[in-house]
Amino acid sequence: MDKFISLIEEFLDANTIEKGNSKNTRYAYKNDLVQFNYWVKSKNIPYSKITENQIEKYLIFLGKRGYENSTISRKTACLKAFFKFLLKENIYKKNIMDKISRPTKNNLLPKSLSSNEINKIFNYLESNRLRNSYRDRVIIEILYGCGLRISELTSLNTHDINFEESTIQCTGKGNKQRIIPTNNSCLKSIDDYLQNERSKIKILSKNQALLVNKNGSRITRQTAWNSVKGIINILKLDSDITPHTFRHTFATDLLKGGANLRQVQEMLGHSSLAATQIYTMLDNEWIKKEFLIAHPRA
């Protein structure tokens, strides 16, 4: 018998004896673990070499396959119990599931923007020459291009933008600073704003705020919020779209593109991996498209 399958059977037997699990519970656990074993084998990973990073990739795989959050939560709980058992049996020296939490219905995020919606927004920003148009573009570029929280966006100073290194430094929760790489489009929008809009506003020399209002003061979160909602309303997009939706889209698009969960965690400024895991729930429209491309009978 396969060594990993043997360990699964030992775990199921122990659970039945110690916890009195029903036949249905045993059946569900076995299915979850056999599915995990199949994925591990498909990646040619020896059972003794499974790492936390590989568990993360497996959860992303489940998300891409369209599993509901509740189902992934159950499968995560099963893996937690299994690897706790393996630790107890001295198969592993540490529990590699310790830092991985179960996604719940309470931490579901708003939907991400589709590529069509993103294109529609940027096409509008490129042609818009109304008041604050340069500032509006910077707001959207940074929210989507860097995944900042709205409070992080409004607290940016001019010296936080490094044009030479193509990075933005921001201060997140707990006053923790992080440096985020950004793209040329974002940097150009910032430069255009500095040259064509901010430079024409009377600003005190000690005020280093990147984004300012007509009086030269740092814009508030509400001002940034109103800018985003104004664009959404003009384009008649989903009224539920908020500044945070762009952060969600940033993370989701990175994962779709193959970014590592740890890298996304660092860019989002999450203190724990658990907060980043919820971004593995990729939207069904993208999953369907991937299926149509990948499946030989699609």
Q: How many Cβ atoms are within 10 Å of 84's Cβ, its own excluded?
A: 15
Angle among Cα 112, 169, 146 to the nearest 5 degrees reads 15
Query: Pairing state of beta strands 177-181 and 167-171?
Result: antiparallel
φ/ψ (deg, to 5) at 78: -65, -45
CA gap 146, 167 in Å, rounded: 9
Q: Which of 38, 13, 26, 65 is nearest to 47 (CA)?
A: 38
CA gap 52, 93 in Å, rounded: 13
Please report, as a single letter, which amino acid is at residue 238: D
Please report, as a single letter, which amino acid is at residue 258: G
Query: Which residues are annotated as catalytic?
Result: 149, 173, 244, 247, 270, 279
